[in-house]
Amino acid sequence: MNWTPNRRMAVIAVVAFALDQLTKYLALQYLGPVQGGASREHTVIDGFFKLVLWGNTGAAWSMFHDSNEALAIVSLVALLALFIWRHKFDTSTWIGQLSLGLIFGGIVGNLFDRLDPHRAQVIDFLRFYLRKRSGEEMGFPAFNIADSAICVGVGLLILLSWKRDAELKNSQKPEAAVSSQ
């Protein structure tokens, strides 16, 4: 099989999407369906990690709550733009292909949740937190595999950008002056 950059990105995207949907399905089976905004949870490591079941109609950290349709459109536009301009990224390297594949798969995973008439919201189920002395929890908002794929993909793109900038900077340094003897 000829593994072109586009084929690698597609396979990575499909794997990220499939893992996202499988884990959301398992979370729904284990914790029950999300109904009426009710949240369910199961403590895995007390004071550190829980499986939760939160329906999110907003974006990251529930910003733009109840904007599911608008965020679905934004996701579609972002997906299309990234696909059209993917050649602007370092897709010649395996890391560049991995990063865009993860981003594509993550966007499609959350978009699928938004467009699914039975869900109409993104399912978040992983939550890391700490418990204050008062007993109150403080922690990172719940997230899912699609969110993780997007964040890791963007992080890899940033690292590739820094690497490319450093290489460009080093290639533009003037040659060391040859000292005359």
Which 3 state secondary structure label does DSSP give 83?
helix
- Tell me the CA end-to-end span of the chain in Å, nearest whole number: 59
What number of other Cβ atoms are within 10 A of residue 157's Cβ? 19
> Mean pLDDT over all residues of the chain?
88
Q: What is the pLDDT of residue 141?
A: 87
Residue 84 CA, chain-centre distance (Å), reads 19
Residue 8 CA, chain-centre distance (Å), reads 18
pLDDT of 1 above 80: no
Q: Which two tokens stand for residue 41?
A: 């949870």
For the residues 159-169, what does the mean pLDDT come to?
84
pLDDT in tens, 25-61: 999 999 887 666 566 889 999 999 999 998 888 777 6
Which 3 state secondary structure label does DSSP give 178?
coil
- Please give the angle made by the CA atoms of 60, 29 and 126, to the nearest 5 degrees: 30
Q: What is the pLDDT of residue 89?
A: 86
Q: What is the pLDDT of residue 75?
A: 93
For the residues 5-17, what does the mean pLDDT come to?
96
Q: What is the pLDDT of residue 154?
A: 96
Q: Provide the residue type at 129 as one letter.
A: Y
Q: What is the pLDDT of residue 62?
A: 63
The kind and range of the H/E element at 56 are: strand 49-56
Which 3 state secondary structure label does DSSP give 120?
coil
Q: Which range, of 73-77, 111-115, 134-138, averages the lowest pLDDT?
A: 134-138
For the residues 96-115, what does the mean pLDDT come to?
96
Q: Which two tokens stand for residue 5?
A: 């950059």
CA distance 103 to 106: 5
pLDDT in tens, 116-161: 988 889 999 999 999 888 988 888 889 999 999 999 999 999 999 8
pTM of the model: 0.84
Torsion angle, alpha carbons of 104, 107, 109, 115, to 10: -130
Whose tokens are 């950008």? That residue is: 161
Instruction: For the chain, give every domain's residue range.
Output: 5-164
pLDDT of 173 above 80: no
* Residues classed as catalytic: 124, 147
Q: What is the pLDDT of residue 137?
A: 86
Q: Which two tokens stand for residue 106?
A: 């993550």
